[in-house]
Amino acid sequence: MIKLDLGNVLLKPSHRRQVMAWLKRSTRLGERVGSFELVLHLRRVKGQYEVRADVHDALGDFGCRSRQRDWRDALRDIAHLITLQLHDHRVRGTA
């Protein structure tokens, strides 16, 4: 399950679809690990966009944070970090 909390940022529906496409791989990895929940918090802070991700899966919880000048860069960075962490959880869980 993915929950997107936009805070003080407005995203068009096409941008939301783009974000979901970036999170597609991490969603699949999370479902393989089990009991996957992802909450994304997007805020605009002092001319930058801050994205925080709180992830819960069967092997534990973790969080990621990215602060960039553009919301696309911040969300793309977070999607990459989440995928790396979930991959690590998947490898540790099967070993």
Alpha helices of the chain — where are they, by DSSP H? 13-22, 24-33, 71-94
pLDDT average per 10 residues of sequence, the chain (95 residues)? 93 95 94 92 95 93 96 96 92 71
Minimal CA–CA distance to 47: which of 30, 27, 70? 70
Residues 6+ apart with CB under 8 A from 85: 55, 62, 64
Q: Which domains occur in the chain, in start order?
A: 2-94 (3.30.160.100)
Instruction: Locate 86 and state its tokens.
Output: 């979930």
Model's pTM, two decimal places? 0.89
- How far apart are the C-alpha atoms of 30 and 90, rounded to whole Å? 8
